[in-house]
Structure 1
Amino acid sequence: MSPIKTSSSKELDIDYLIENLTLPEKISLLAGKDFWHTVPIPRLNIPSIRVSDGPNGIRGTKFFNSIPSNCFPCGTGLAATFNKDLLVEAGELMGKEAKMKGASVILGPTCNIVRSPLGGRSFESYSEDPLLSGHAAACIVKGIQNENVVACLKHFVCNDQEDDRKAVDTLLTDRAFREIYLKPFHIAIRDVNPKALMTSYNKVNGEHVSQSKEIIQDILRKEFNYNGALMSDWFGTYSTKAALDAGLNLEMPGPTRFRQAIQTLHAVQANQISQEVIDDNVRYVLRLVNEGLKAEIPDDVIESANEDPAAGELLRKVGDQSIVLLKNENNILPLSKIAVKGQEKVAIIGPNAKAAQDSGGGSASLAARYKITPWEGIKSKIEEGGNTVALEYALGAFLDRNLPDVGDILINEEGEKGIDARFYKHAPGYKGDRLLLETYKLSTSKVFLSDFKSDRLEPNDILFYADFTGNFIPDETAEYEFGASCLGTAQVFVDDVLVADNKTKQQKGDAFFLGMGTREERGSIFLEKGKSYNVRCEFGSAPTYTLEGGPVEAGGVYFGIRIKSTPEVEIKKAVEIAKTVDKVVIVAGLSKEWESEGFDRPDMEIPGYTNQLIDEITKVNSNVIVVNQSGSPVNFPWLDKVQALVHAWYGGNELGNTIADVLFGDYNPSGKLSVTFPKRLQDNPSYINFGSTNGQVWYGEDVFVGYRYYEKIDLEPLYPFGYGLSYTTFDFKDLVVKSIRDNVNIKVQVTNTGKVKGAEVVQVYIQPETPLVNRPVKELKDFAKVELEAGESKIVELNISIKEATSYWNSQKKSWQSDKGSYKILVGNSSSNISLEGKFITSKTLNWLGL
């Protein structure tokens, strides 16, 4: 027999392979080959397949000098579109780009619950609501798998904070576990069957998920009938026998830490691990390989960027629909591109105005193929209008935790934006040939070298040096700060003068992924406007690190430049400009330095002096519009003083264009909040139970997460779940509710009663009239987005499973239960704005399991 089935030139015959693989070969298949690949077995024609990070876009196999990617809006932004069809399109684009990066598996989407505004990866997930999370994930997965690329849904399950993430024991009731945290995975598995799942780092009720038989075997495999592959999060395996017995099929990354050939073989021979367990896990890995082969990626594929203009058009469409208009007093928006009477002036102010906050930080971030800043997007709109509106700019406030990236400020040797990088075997000042290893043109001064390689170095040699150089031309005569943080050592020189020293005086800091690096060391120098200065950052790799507990990989360096100033000076400059203009647009919020994998936020505040900046500007100009960018809620203490508030999330490549589209009305905002914005952090249901306390976190709010809590205790939030304004108005009427066998059919007429085209989201909530257990006031059960011309009406029809819509988890019976009784259908355009009510009745109580 052949290991290749005759029905397909590439499909592996799994039964044949199970019979013919040696035990050491089988064991080798149960962990990755390296960071991004599975293990091949050439003897039996079993290929290696590639995986890639993918929640925000497909990075590919490289952190350092990676092939640029298209960056999508963050997860909470994607969910804010409330557009299932559009999310499928987004998933299809992800699938196409995965193949261009040679990846047949995308490590995403992420569908954990946004339990708290403080969660470091909240931006990467979709929603506080399990149904919206599940449908968003299902749509993205469907799109990815339409391209024959495997979607790896993550992180299964309860990975809802970063604090102590590999050790924390998540304690929660069985009911909350089922109704809230498992539900998004349940929905995606039921509807689209993602071909892979990734386990989370944390424990649930005393056991790491990656080795929990109860969660993996009893719930996932038996109840959910899931037949896809299960892989660990990176370095998220904690045992050999327990994880294999539970059914963690693939330990990632490789080479293995827990499934070494000699030790695992010995455990099998000693009957500590059964041969059947090995075979079962191998079978799932081979299924994953078969699924990966369907992408038909050539063995010799070279990673490439997707430069198709259609990709940018789709990203802009998704970004447009994600933006949420939260406030619009006196219809100050949309702005006009053309001055009505003479020349008008608009000031664009704020730390995010000329920065491209494309994504949050951590494994979701990537090198975006291009980025449009809000300033660039707005300026382009004004140019469309013939430049009759004059633009002014001021920074106003600093946001960067460290000095900003200067990849788009420095000029390389070719006279283009960028940095020249030269890698050497020997340190600067070496008497002799330093031995040039490699040269690169870089677009960033944030350089992570975990996967740097050179054929001129020995395989395990991670000691090398690099010079990063470029010319800097100041915009104004002033004193400028230069700084560097590193995993290794670094010094920054300006025209050969040492300005910043992170070599002879290092201190532990929080730079780099999971805070492994040094504190940023800064120095300053006076520079003249228009003069060209040579900037050189001399870097030594990880072995040169002078502190204890240094990194084991090659290391990296972040260096930056900023005019030296004080908050008071920058605010004063901005206020003086604000006095002279008709309207002020302030672009503020967070960045990947403040919202990232690896740490949770300490509070909901916008860091630095942004709030003071907005306060001062509102004193001198009454026409202030704020655009906020963050992946989760922040405080707006100045809200009553501004005319408009736009929430723009992290918007991917096209973020500046999408913000401008909404501000100027080229797109009528239709996004709805995928998370509740509380008035203060203390109002959030997780407030007293967030973060790790002695290795544990108690999900004390139970099933009352997000809007379920605010409604249950009748506490008004700042902005409710599902909320979002438009430049037009809509009317809901003629609700018809019919029970048809196992479904409830809902029809509602939606009319655009305003003067411009727009889109509205019909949100359907279910409310039990006489609940027998403590339940939320109502729960979202389906939604649909409808686009309407001015004056147009359409009938929106939804079919909802009665069993799904009415059930709660009965912990005593260990099953879902739908109680006999009367249920309200509540239809509106947010959780707090219900326009129509209907009713249906169930005639008997049902208990059920699984899908």
Structure 2
Amino acid sequence: MSPAQYYPNLDLTQHQLEEIDNVVDRLTLSEKATLISGIDFWHTFAIHDPERNIDLPSIRMSDGPNGIRGTRFYNSVPSACLPNGTSLGATFNKELLNQTGKLMALEAKHKGAHVILGPTVNIQRGPNGGRGFESFSEDPTAAGLVASEIIKGMQSENIIATIKHYVCNDFEHQRTSVSAIVSERALREVYLKPFQLALKHANPLALMTAYNRVNGIHASQNHHLLIDILRNEWNYQGTVTSDWFGVYNLYESIKNGLDIEMPGKPLIRDKKQVVNAVMKKQISENDLDERVKNIVKLVYRTKGSGVSENGAEDTDNNTKETSEFLKRLANEGTVLLKNDANVLPLSIEDKIAVVGPNAKIATFSGGGSASLKPYYAVNAYDGISRRYGKPPLYASGAYSHNLLPGLSEVLDNTSTGNKGFRIKYYYTLEDAKANNDDFFFQDDLNESHVSFFDFTKSTKPEFYALVEGEFVPQKDGIYDFGLVVNGTGQIFIDDELIVDNKTKQTPGDMFFGYGTIEEKGSVNLSKGNKYKFRLEYGSAITSTYPSIVDETKASGGFNIGAAIRIDEEQEISNAVEVAKKVDKVIAIVGLTKEWESEGFDREDLKYPGRTNDLIFALAKANPNIIIVNQSGTPMEMPWIDDVKGVVQSWYNGMELGNSLAEVLFGDYNPSGKLPLTFPKKFEDNPAYLNFISDFGDCVYGEDIFVGYKYYEKLNKDVLFPYGFGLSYTTFEFSTLDVILDWEAKQLNISLVVENTGTLDGSEVVQVYIGGVEDSSIRRPIKELKDFTKLFVKAGEKKNTSFTTDLKNAFSIWDNEKSKWFIEKGIYQIYVGNSSANVPLSSSVSIEENYWWSGL
């Protein structure tokens, strides 16, 4: 597909293509060697030479999946935080997803970015994947079609989309070294399929390779993936970038199709080494020219974006319109999973209580490169209070944090009078301890998690920081303080050492696997007293255990937290007493970015701490309990039969609290559907035995039977099936008509959807196709092939139709012919509103075998 179909300003004319060839010819070998890697964390190399008629500005890339961070990890400029990937997938609303891409493009322009590092389309083959929350679905067709709409939205505004991570970056364990051992059929039908569909329907003009190996070879230097399939079979004309620090071999990556190494300064593609390798014929200059040409294409395509070179970042898109759109987006992704006795929607006449460990925490995103600093974030309690018109009764009931809650939000910066702390930077620990005036930089921050990945104020990898603030306890009691560092650090309260993460350190998962575990210490404090908080921090190079020492990452970071120590039984009892006083209880539970993050996978699907005990106790105290689950991927719910309502609220961005209130009170009729199956038990999931690196390998033993395809094939009960979601109204499907147009290579499907309830609402129509009966080839019972969301007023009937190309509808991968194969025979067409509810069915007959390749 030509970009001109959707984004004419990104298309390259024949004249421009010839001009690009001429530019590449005019570049020196040294310039070519420099262009194939970044110059810093976000930017490409620039060449401006009017005499040679070369004008290649530096272009800026920026994360990512649910918002545009900009150029900084350290003290970043706030951005619009969108709902996470699974929430976007749960909307099943193509038009809305296209608008989402447009909003992300607008955010990119406000951050001076030409290229967005997203969307993420990796498959949720296991429900516990650390980055599962970033992805859209366990189903490859859903992931591909969702991504297509977002990409079209981005690129229609002349901002480049980067589809990622190509391919099989589906779990985090040893992700830079593990080899995904996957059959060619599963690779094609499951893991490559989202990329194939996105290239076919939306043509993302950048693509990011994965960290891992695929069948023994790293994805960033894999000839089969990058040349055979991507370039030759799919005729991809875009630019291929590495994931950050995801290049492993100079010669193989250039030869086999990786265009640019990110970030810079390069670890692998050092200019001198590249030049030397070309001079010694270890690298073909033709291969180098091909890499450079694709980078120049990317630069040319960004010239119409309206984004200047090295542009400033701003927060001007923090508008009412942005907020309203993000709230709608969160609304449409929210899934009503259970609603016995119509316990929902709430009424302002109800006497309600809000309880739970997540109630007053703004769980706006998961962790890792998807996280960012939002313009603001509304937590569930505040959103409900605003809609309710008064603060409801509240009790936390339990703790569920992995790390102690962020400390900066409750510290007072005595220098400014604001929340947060003052931080001063020194080149010696002695100067930091002395708190003298020899600091080289000082700042005022209100962030508990501080990353120095891109801290530019220090001219040396070794530096020290003195963090100071004032802590005023709200209650008498023992307070626990916690510290995670990529480096070294010690916390002092009134000059007394409380936490030592310097003399004894243990490696942990934070800071992309380069940080320590959280070290803790406690102290008895009195309500209302003022206590002096001090952190003495040393950069990553001061770490006492083996860590990275290259200057690109050695700057480090820290995470500070604190909480009053609780009596867990008493906290549950307090919540129970609150529950007895009201008509309905809203329990806000789930995970946070500490539990779901890039860098590690979850160990199970259980709720942390005493959350389950809390829910069981609340259910006994009040029959009208509604659970709001905030997580990016499935949870086990052992209390499911004891509660009347369950709402899946995901990590719903900065408007999460306002959105949740609208759904709970019925201002918005829920229409989200699960884009992944919720199993009853963690052990039930298809990847349970194959979701870890064993001696460097992970066998994808479930093969093509991922997600609902596995559960259906084994006839295994699940907690909630794929595509499931309730509404406050009811719908019926009828009048299915299916026409196979072999000449046009299309399958035409139409039906009628009726809203049989009393409220207006939206329903997601899902089309599944079952394979040929008695076929000698293993196939799933049925597979999703298309979907649409339809708004229908109460009592109204609406017609809807689908046109699906036959190649996507019926094909499987033929390993022997290395082509796609449509097998002759009779196929079943199913239409419904979940994988488990397909009330309409029909059949079509394919009269002859058919093979094809390409997109």
Question: TM > 0.5 between the two?
Answer: yes
State which drifts further: 513-522 or 736-745.
513-522
How many angstroms apart in 1 are the aligned matches of 2:14 and 2:565? 64
Q: Name 1:488's counterpart in structure 2.
A: 487
Q: Does the aligned pair in 2 maintain the 1:486–1:502 contact within 8 Å?
A: no
SS in 2 for 1:513: helix
2:368 to 362, 365, 390: 362
Map Cα deviations across residues 518-546 of structure 1 (whole Å, 9 max, x no partner).
33333333333344444333333334434
Residue pairs, 1:576-595, within 5 angstroms: 576-595=577-596
Residue pairs, 1:457-606, within 5 angstroms: 457=458, 459-469=459-469, 471-494=470-493, 496-498=494-496, 500-502=498-500, 505-510=503-508, 512-549=510-547, 553-606=554-607
State which drifts further: 232-241 or 422-431.
422-431
Give the C-alpha shift of residue 152 in structure 1. 0.7
State which drifts further: 7-16 or 808-817.
7-16
State which drifts further: 511-520 or 329-338.
511-520
How many angstroms apart in 2 are the aligned matches of 1:563 and 1:743? 63
Q: Name 1:794's counterpart in structure 2.
A: 798
SS in 2 for 1:634: coil
How many angstroms apart in 1 are the aligned matches of 2:213 and 2:167? 9
How many angstroms apart in 2 are the aligned matches of 1:272 and 1:66? 42
Q: Name 1:222's counterpart in structure 2.
A: 232
Q: Name 2:823's counterpart in structure 1.
A: 819
Q: Does the aligned pair in 2 maintain the 1:411–1:472 contact within 8 Å?
A: yes
How many angstroms apart in 1 are the aligned matches of 2:526 and 2:520? 19
How many angstroms apart in 1 are the aligned matches of 2:801 and 2:404? 52
How many angstroms apart in 2 are the aligned matches of 1:476 and 1:663? 32
How many angstroms apart in 2 are the aligned matches of 1:191 and 1:6? 18
SS in 2 for 1:111: coil
Quickly say closer, same or farther: Cα 1:542–1:808, change in 2 above 3 A.
closer
Give the C-alpha shift of residue 430 in structure 1. 5.7
Map Cα deviations across residues 814-844 of structure 1 (whole Å, 9 max, x no partner).
1111122222211100000011112222222
Give the C-alpha shift of residue 702 in structure 1. 1.0
Residue pairs, 1:192-341, within 5 angstroms: 192-299=202-309, 301-305=311-315, 306-339=317-350
SS in 2 for 1:526: strand
How many angstroms apart in 1 are the aligned matches of 2:583 and 2:312? 52
Residue pairs, 1:429-828, within 5 angstroms: 433-454=436-457, 457=458, 459-469=459-469, 471-494=470-493, 496-498=494-496, 500-502=498-500, 505-510=503-508, 512-549=510-547, 553-740=554-741, 741-770=744-773, 771-828=775-832
Map Cα deviations across residues 549-595 of structure 1 (whole Å, 9 max, x no partner).
46652222211221112322322222222222222111111111111
2:28 to 22, 27, 47: 22
Give the C-alpha shift of residue 90 in structure 1. 0.7
Map Cα deviations across residues 103-133 of structure 1 (whole Å, 9 max, x no partner).
1011110001000011111111111100000
How many angstroms apart in 2 are the aligned matches of 1:826 and 1:798? 13
- For 1:149, give the aligned amino acid: I
Q: TM-score, normalised by structure 1?
A: 0.94
How many angstroms apart in 2 are the aligned matches of 1:522 and 1:847? 62
SS in 2 for 1:517: coil
Q: Name 1:374's counterpart in structure 2.
A: 380
Residue pairs, 1:118-137, within 5 angstroms: 118-137=128-147
Give the C-alpha shift of residue 482 in structure 1. 2.1
Is 1:67 paired with 2:77?
yes
SS in 2 for 1:267: helix
SS in 1 for 2:413: coil
- For 1:325, give the aligned amino acid: L
Quickly say closer, same or farther: Cα 1:174–1:511, change in 2 above 3 A.
closer
Quickly say closer, same or farther: Cα 1:135–1:7, change in 2 above 3 A.
closer
Percent of aligned positions that are identical: 46
How many angstroms apart in 2 are the aligned matches of 1:436 and 1:12? 54
SS in 2 for 1:833: coil
How many angstroms apart in 1 are the aligned matches of 2:658 and 2:559? 28
Give the C-alpha shift of residue 711 in structure 1. 0.9
How many angstroms apart in 2 are the aligned matches of 1:520 and 1:566? 21
SS in 1 for 2:520: strand
- For 1:839, give the aligned amino acid: S
Q: Does the aligned pair in 2 maintain the 1:487–1:551 contact within 8 Å?
A: no
Map Cα deviations across residues 271-293 of structure 1 (whole Å, 9 max, x no partner).
22212111111110100111222
Give the C-alpha shift of residue 610 in structure 1. 0.6
State which drifts further: 131-140 or 403-412.
403-412
How many angstroms apart in 2 are the aligned matches of 1:9 and 1:37? 27
How many angstroms apart in 2 are the aligned matches of 1:549 and 1:818? 52
Q: Does the aligned pair in 1 maintain the 2:767–2:787 contact within 8 Å?
A: yes
Map Cα deviations across residues 69-108 of structure 1 (whole Å, 9 max, x no partner).
1111111110000001111111111111111111101111
- For 1:372, give the aligned amino acid: V
- For 1:299, give the aligned amino acid: E
Q: Does the aligned pair in 1 maintain the 2:739–2:748 contact within 8 Å?
A: yes
Gaps of 5+ in 2: 1-10
Aligned residues: 832
SS in 2 for 1:317: helix
Quickly say closer, same or farther: Cα 1:529–1:432, change in 2 above 3 A.
closer
Give the C-alpha shift of residue 606 in structure 1. 1.3
Quickly say closer, same or farther: Cα 1:431–1:268, change in 2 above 3 A.
closer
Give the C-alpha shift of residue 490 in structure 1. 2.7
Q: Does the aligned pair in 2 maintain the 1:73–1:318 contact within 8 Å?
A: yes
How many angstroms apart in 2 are the aligned matches of 1:502 and 1:721? 47
Q: Name 2:4's counterpart in structure 1.
A: none
SS in 1 for 2:30: helix
Give the C-alpha shift of residue 752 in structure 1. 1.0
1:107 to 106, 117, 128: 117
- For 2:811, give the aligned amino acid: S
Quickly say closer, same or farther: Cα 1:17–1:550, change in 2 above 3 A.
closer
Q: Does the aligned pair in 2 maintain the 1:170–1:697 contact within 8 Å?
A: yes
How many angstroms apart in 1 are the aligned matches of 2:454 and 2:114? 21
Q: Name 2:7's counterpart in structure 1.
A: none
Give the C-alpha shift of residue 426 in structure 1. 4.7
Give the C-alpha shift of residue 267 in structure 1. 2.1
Gaps of 5+ in 1: none
Quickly say closer, same or farther: Cα 1:715–1:503, change in 2 above 3 A.
closer
State which drifts further: 531-540 or 104-113.
531-540
Q: Does the aligned pair in 2 maintain the 1:486–1:511 contact within 8 Å?
A: no
Q: Does the aligned pair in 2 maintain the 1:316–1:657 contact within 8 Å?
A: yes
Give the C-alpha shift of residue 802 in structure 1. 1.9
SS in 2 for 1:689: coil
